Amino acid sequence: MRIHIFIIIASGLFLGSCTTPIDTVLVSDHPAIQKVMDSIENHEVQILYTQIDTTDKGLITFKDYEFQENKKHYFYPASTVKLPITLLAAEYVNKHPELHIDTPYISTRDSVLHSVAGDIRQIFAVSDNEAYNRLYDMLGRDYINKRLKELDLSPTRIAHRLSTGNAAIPERGTIKFFPSYEGDVIALEGLKDQSIKKVSIKNQQKGKGYIKDGNLIQTAFDFSEKNYFPLQSQHELMKRLFFEDQFDKDERFDISYTDKVRIQKSMYTLPRNATYDPETYYDSYVKFFMYGDTKDMIPDHIKIYNKVGYAYGTLTETAYVVDEKEGIQFLLSATILVNENGIFNDDTYEYDTVGIPFLAQLGRAIYDLEKSRK
């Protein structure tokens, strides 16, 4: 039995009446918040925030708040799609008795030995695209979307690989697993997925132009065949991962307890603790909430289990934030568009001046609310 307390807030333009904790944060005089709120209609902001409490009987309760959340209003999810793929890959090998997440494998994408566990570490430490692409080929978009529908995480649609040529081609290469040193090989032969299925949602054509082959095309950029992972689905996935007892069995990922703990650890592990150069991959490299606008070290007692995405001028993060010292925990998901000139693919986006400062301050403000609420 799930115990949820839902607070329903009307979406639309912010009117200044502080009826929720998110509203309170958004009327802040902090310049990073003000800059966005002064032109809120240009930024397609969506926010979900969940307060997590425990009753006297030890039951978990959620209080969910939202600002402009609308699963029918498209935004490009970028690398946030890597989160469900990591969980589905762990599930997939868990269904094969002879395999586990540390089983070495070779993909036709390269000639190097990999493992699902290694791919997961790379994805969460530095958001590695090739690690995602290998897992995408292992699973295939038909399986991915079927499984996400079974988990009631629709209308998510995973349609393509990331940052690679022919990203959406239906053909997938062979994956060879090596479960033992005796030479045994388990091969997943290359398959062909179905064509990309379109979804009926708003605003899939964005902006006033885009760059293609170095030329400006003066028409809206079409996202109708891109990945689609609405904020509500991201937020609900995080709940399933960290509070699976609140959900029915058929809504949970079928992952062993040990693998789930390892995945969760990968989510909060900082690049410097995953053998990456801290000068290049600083603590907040893929953590925007609270720390995105600084290169300072994140304290050890604060763990941010998250996944970010940034591409085509859209910044998104979904996170479970825990302060072990203060006894604070909350869920926060948000997305923002920062494309002032309305041109896509020109690499001229206000990530560092508008988007990341907004998400960082949003995270700090929600954290402060939690601290006072405690």
* Digit-coded pLDDT (tens) for 347-368: 999 999 999 999 999 999 999 9
Residue pLDDT, tens place only, 93-102: 999 989 999 9
The answer to whether the beta carbons of residues 2 and 246 sit under 8 Å apart is: yes
> Which residue type occupies 178?
F
**Which of the 8 DSSP states describes residue 299?**
P
What pLDDT shows up at residue 344?
Answer: 98
CATH number for the domain whose boundaries are 4-373: 3.40.710.10
DSSP 8-state symbol, 198: P
Q: Is the pLDDT of residue 243 over 90?
A: yes
Tell me the C-alpha distance between 303 and 320, whole Å. Answer: 8
Q: pLDDT by residue (tens digit) across 104-162?
A: 999 999 999 999 999 999 999 999 999 999 999 999 999 999 999 999 998 899 999 99
**Who contacts 122 (Cβ-Cβ below 8 Å, separation ≥6)?**
128, 131
pLDDT at 130: 97
Residues 189-225 have pLDDT tens digits of: 778 999 988 888 989 999 999 999 999 999 999 999 9
Residue 10 has pLDDT above 60, yes or no: no
Give domain limits for the chain. 4-373
Starting at the edge strand found earlier in the chain, the sheet holding 209-212 runs: 215-217, 209-212, 343-344
- For the segment 17-65, what is each residue's pLDDT rounded down to a tens digit? 568 999 999 999 999 999 999 999 999 999 999 999 988 888 999 999 9
Model confidence at 343, in pLDDT bands (50, 70, 90)? very high
Reading the block at residue 276, the tokens are 């990456």
Provide the pLDDT for residue 16: 44
pLDDT at 17: 53
Give the dihedral of Cα atoms 117, 123, 129, 132; nearest 10 deg: 50
pLDDT at residue number 5: 44
In angstroms, the first-to-last Cα distance of the chain is: 26
pTM assigned to the model:
0.94
Q: Residues 152-178: what's their mean pLDDT? A: 93
Res 7: pLDDT: 40
The predicted pLDDT at position 374 comes to 67
Question: Is the distance from CB of 71 to CB of 230 less than 8 angstroms?
Answer: yes
Yes or no: say if 204 and 164 are a contact pair by the CB < 8 Å rule: no
Q: How many Cβ atoms from other residues are within 10 Å of residue 187's Cβ?
A: 11
Which pLDDT tens digit goes with each residue over 251-309? 999 999 999 999 999 999 999 999 999 999 999 999 999 999 999 999 999 999 999 99
Q: Does pLDDT of 248 surpass 80?
A: yes
One-letter amino acid at 273 equals N
